[in-house]
């Protein structure tokens, strides 16, 4: 199985209860990425995305731009490995 670029992104701020996950899902439809977005118990939103490095970077940038009014802090980490996801979902 071919290795893909994978990013884990945590968004902090006023990111829950504002349609953040739904908007992220809509943005994902415009990119060749797979993964998911979910709310965390500590008030953050976790985004997992994988695909080609440029596509994942462009997707994360589009999410940040689309929802910048709600985001105070973004924490990102990346790695390469086998694909883990099919499609993009809300969890």
Q: Is position 39 annotated as part of the catalytic site?
A: yes
Q: Which of 21, 54, 72, 91 is catalytic?
A: 21
Q: Which domains does the chain have, with CATH numbers?
A: 3-90 (3.30.70.100)
Percent residues over pLDDT 70 in the chain: 99
Q: Strand 88-90 and strand 45-51: pairing?
A: unpaired
Query: With 80 as the cut, is the pLDDT of residue 6 above it?
Result: yes
Q: What is the pLDDT of residue 2?
A: 76
Model pTM above 0.85? yes
- Whether residue 91 lies in the annotated active site: no
Which pLDDT does position 1 carry in this prediction?
Answer: 59
Q: Mean pLDDT across the stretch 37-47? A: 98
Rounded Cα distance between 70 and 54, Å, is: 24
The residues facing 9 across adjacent strands are: 47, 76
């Amino acid at each position: 199985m071919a290795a893909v670029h994978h990013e884990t992104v945590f968004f902090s701020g006023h990111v829950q209860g504002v349609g953040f996950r739904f908007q992220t899902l809509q943005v994902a439809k415009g990119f060749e990425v797979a993964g998911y977005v979910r709310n965390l118990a500590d008030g953050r939103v976790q985004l997992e995305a994988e695909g080609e490095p440029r596509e994942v970077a462009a997707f994360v940038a589009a999410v940040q731009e689309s929802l910048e009014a709600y985001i105070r802090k973004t924490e990102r980490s990346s790695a390469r490995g086998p694909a883990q996801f099919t499609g993009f979902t809300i969890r």
